[in-house]
Structure formats: C-alpha cells, structure tokens
C-alpha cells in the first residue's frame, strides 16, 4: 500500500497547488496578523492511545511495514558488486530486524502524536468506533483497490486537464495575436 499511497499523494500534491491558486480569491488587502494563541496542551495518555488505535485500525500504520524491507533491499543492491558480503550482510540485516521494528514503532508513535495534535479526544473516539464497525473494517479493506483506481483516474485526469488548459491558453493567446508552440 505504500507505493499506492505515495503515488496518490504525489499526484494530489502536483495537482492541488495549481487548482488551489486558480480557485482562490485574491485578497484585496493583507489582513492584520492574528493574535498569538497559547500553545495547545500536550495530549494525555488516553488521547495518544486513541490516536494510536486510529493509526493501527485505519491501515495507515501498515504503510510503514514496507519501508524497512525496502531499505534492506537498497543496501543489498548497493552490495551486489561484492558477492562475498552477501551471507554476512543477510545475517546482519536479520540481526538488526528487532532494532528496525523499534524504528518503525517510533514512526507509528510520531504519527499518533500528529493525529492527537490535530484531532480532539472525542473526535478520535468517534473515528476509532467507525474503524471498529463493519463499515469501517470494510473501508480499510477496500483502500488498496480504491487507491489503485484513484491513482489511475488521477493520472488520466491530470493528462486530460493539462492538454485542455494548453489548448485553451493557445486559443486565447491566438485571439490576442500571439502564437504559443
């Protein structure tokens, strides 16, 4: 799911800034700076536990599962010209697996903290309840296929919109006596 999610996020990141700037109204004057807000209180243990539950039950934490093996594969690939290292390298990577699992858990904890910072405890309770429900479980189960289809659809859509905009820009510039290749 990591590649799908990364691809979907990359496409969204590429497409959204242009859309947002095209649709965003231009402010007439710069508004006054907002008053400084006090820093929000650090989430309590229950708040963090709920955020962690949401991370795990939503399937987002699974996206971290393929990262460590990908690192190991990169290291193996770098050592491909040194076949004498293969046996020892595989043993070292296997021995480091518990440490790498701890690193993955650090990322899960970081992500849970981010969720706890962005969502209230009550909101996280509702979200966790959803992911425990049959509909929530089905939602998580369907995500890999949904993301695959979304990535494909967004690739096609991005290409179509890009071509459409270029045709329209050329036509409008042509009306003004300019020719754009």
Percentage of the chain surpassing pLDDT 90?
67
The answer to whether residue 69 scores a pLDDT higher than 70 is yes
Low-confidence winner among 32-41, 105-114, 141-150 (lowest mean pLDDT):
32-41
Alpha helices in 24-96 (DSSP H): 45-58, 67-78, 86-95
Give the residue-averaged pLDDT of 9-32. Answer: 44
pLDDT in tens, 117-173: 999 999 999 999 999 999 999 999 999 899 999 999 999 999 999 999 999 999 999
Nearest alpha carbon to residue 2 among 52, 68, 98: 68
User: Which single residue is written with the structure tokens 């939602």?
Assistant: 139
pLDDT band for position 181 (cuts 50, 70, 90): confident
């Amino acid at each position: 799911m990591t590649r799908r999610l990364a691809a979907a996020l990359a496409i969204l990141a590429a497409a959204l800034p242009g859309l947002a700037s095209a649709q965003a109204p231009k402010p007439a004057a710069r508004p006054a700076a907002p008053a400084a807000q006090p820093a929000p209180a650090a989430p309590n243990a229950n708040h963090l536990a709920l955020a962690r539950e949401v991370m795990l039950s939503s399937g987002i934490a699974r996206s971290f599962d393929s990262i460590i093996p990908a690192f190991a594969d990169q290291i193996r690939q770098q050592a491909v010209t040194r076949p004498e290292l293969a046996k020892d390298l595989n043993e070292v990577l296997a021995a480091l697996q518990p440490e790498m699992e701890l690193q993955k858990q650090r990322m899960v904890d970081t992500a849970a903290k981010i969720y706890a910072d962005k969502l209230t405890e009550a909101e996280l309770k509702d979200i966790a309840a959803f992911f425990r429900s049959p509909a929530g479980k089905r939602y998580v189960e369907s995500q890999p296929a949904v993301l695959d289809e979304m990535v494909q659809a967004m690739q096609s859509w991005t290409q179509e919109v890009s071509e459409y905009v270029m045709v329209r820009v050329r036509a409008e510039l042509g009306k003004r006596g300019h020719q754009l290749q």
